[in-house]
Amino acid sequence: MNKTLLGYVPNESPIYAVHPFVKLFFLLVVSLFPMFVSAPDWNIGLVLVIIIFMWISRVNMKTLKIYVPVAISMGTIIFLSYTVLGGTHPEFELLARVWGVNFYWERVRDALVVYFRVLPMIFTMVFFLSTSRERDIIVAMRSVKIPFVVTYVFAMALRSAGMVLEDFQIVRQAEQARGFDPAGKSLPYKIRQYVMYMVPLFALSLRRSEEFTNALVARGYAFTGKFSKVKRADYILTHYSYKNFDYVFISLISIAFVALLIFRYGFGYFLVEQSWLMRILREALS
């Protein structure tokens, strides 16, 4: 099993044959698709397509269950923001009045449009993180010539996050070992106590950062001066090469994007007015 940022993927997954840049490209471009599509039917279709990709990549589908509560709470927030807290317009069609709040069709429609736009974006991100190891992200960034400093800082952030999480666990145990029991205490008390976690975490990071800087310097990393302008061999990239299917994927993704734009702006597809799902919903609610 290989550990990716969000879970484990079996070693035999086809996703590993794909160059990390293609995965990054997929993430960046396909996340844009929903921005041009307002009809929820199409966006739901996109979510299904991404789920199929996840299944082909042999991502552990059980991990998707984690996102169900996220999806529900997010949907509720969006729905409430648009309907209860949203404004009105004289031409809006009133659907119902519940507990003194007006529910307008246009608001419900807008909420659904936004929700089904955000959903595929999240799923694309989840797909990317579930199939990429930290190294893949670094490789993807370097293959598009993002400056080394940036990719390195990014890698460091990932690394530190891991270390901080480990420390956090130990600190929590240390607190418990000193009789800290949050059960049955007031919220301000709990907040104050949790803030105390920060103290040892800071202390640990401070101590490590001194040694860390020393280690960087000792490895010849020059922040300024002649040696900081050295051309890096980027050895890591030698493990990855673009195969034919990588170019095919990149082309397909690009073509799909261009086609999307053409159909959207040239022929007016993907608009919410044409959505049969919306039409069905509208009739059901009237």
Partner 1 sequence: MSNVIEINDYSWKYINTKIPAIENINLSIKEGSFVGIIGPNGAGKTTLAYSMDGLIPGQYNGVKKGTVEVFGTEVENFAKGELQQLVGVVFSDPEAQFTAMTVEDELVFGMENIGLSVPEIKERLDWAIELTDLSHLLMKPPYEISGGQKQRVALAAVLAMRPKILILDEPTSMLDPVSRGRIFEVLAKLKAEENNTIIVIEHSLENLVPLADEMMLMVDGALLLQDKTQSFFQQSKMLLEKGVYPPGAMHFFHELQMKNYYQGKLPLTVTEGIDLLREITGS
Partner 2 sequence: MTEYKSYIEVVNLDFEYPDGTQALKEINLEIKKGEFIALIGQNGSGKTTLSKCLNGLYKPTAGDIVVDGLNSKDSSIVQMVKRVGYVFQNPDHQLFNNNCWDEIAYGPRNIQLSAEEVEERVNEAIQVVGLPKFYHSEHPFFLSKGLRQRVAIASILALRPHVIIVDEPTTGQDTKQSLEIMDFLKDLNEKHGHTIIIITHDMPIVGRYARRVIAMAQARIMADGPTREVFTQSEVLEKTFLAPPQITQLAQADPSLGFDPRTLTVEEMVEQFLEIKGE
CB-neighbour burial class of residue 75 (10 A; exposed 0-12, middle 13-18, buried 19+):
middle
Residues 68-87: x where in contact with partner 1 by CB under 8 A, - otherwise, as a string: --------------------
- Does 11 help bind partner 1 (rule: CB under 8 A)? no
Amino acid at 90: P
Choosing among partner 1, partner 2, none, which partner's interface includes residue 69 (Cβ < 5 to 8 Å by kind)? none
Q: How far separated are the first and last CA of the chain, in Å rounded?
A: 52
DSSP 95: E
Pick one of 71, 74, 95, 158: the residue that binds partner 1 (CB under 8 A).
Answer: 158
> Can you spell out the DSSP letters for 245-269?
HHHHHHHHHHHHHHHHHIIIIIH-T
Cα separation of 274 and 272, whole Å?
5
Is residue 57 within 8 Å of 131, Cβ to Cβ?
Answer: yes
Pick one of 51, 106, 200, 257: the residue that binds partner 2 (CB under 8 A).
Answer: 200
Is 185 or 279 the residue whose CB approaches partner 2 more closely?
185
Q: What are phi and psi of 104, to 5 degrees?
A: -100, 145
Pick one of 55, 227, 242, 265: the residue that binds partner 1 (CB under 8 A).
Answer: 227
Query: Binding segment for partner 2 among 57-65, 176-184, 219-227, 231-239 (CB under 8 A)?
Result: 176-184
- Does 233 help bind partner 1 (rule: CB under 8 A)? yes
Cα separation of 179 and 189, whole Å?
14
- Does 178 help bind partner 2 (rule: CB under 8 A)? yes
- Does 44 help bind partner 2 (rule: CB under 8 A)? no
- Does 235 help bind partner 1 (rule: CB under 8 A)? yes
- Does 221 help bind partner 1 (rule: CB under 8 A)? yes
**Could you tell me whether strands 7-9 and 2-4 are parallel, antiparallel, or unpaired per DSSP bridges?**
antiparallel
- Does 199 help bind partner 2 (rule: CB under 8 A)? yes
Burial 267-282 (b: 16+ CB within 10 A, else e): eebbebeebeebeebe
Residues that bind partner 1 (CB under 8 A): 3, 133-135, 138, 155-156, 158-159, 162-163, 166, 208, 211-228, 230-236, 238
Residues that bind partner 2 (CB under 8 A): 167, 170-171, 173-181, 196-197, 199-200, 203-204, 206-207
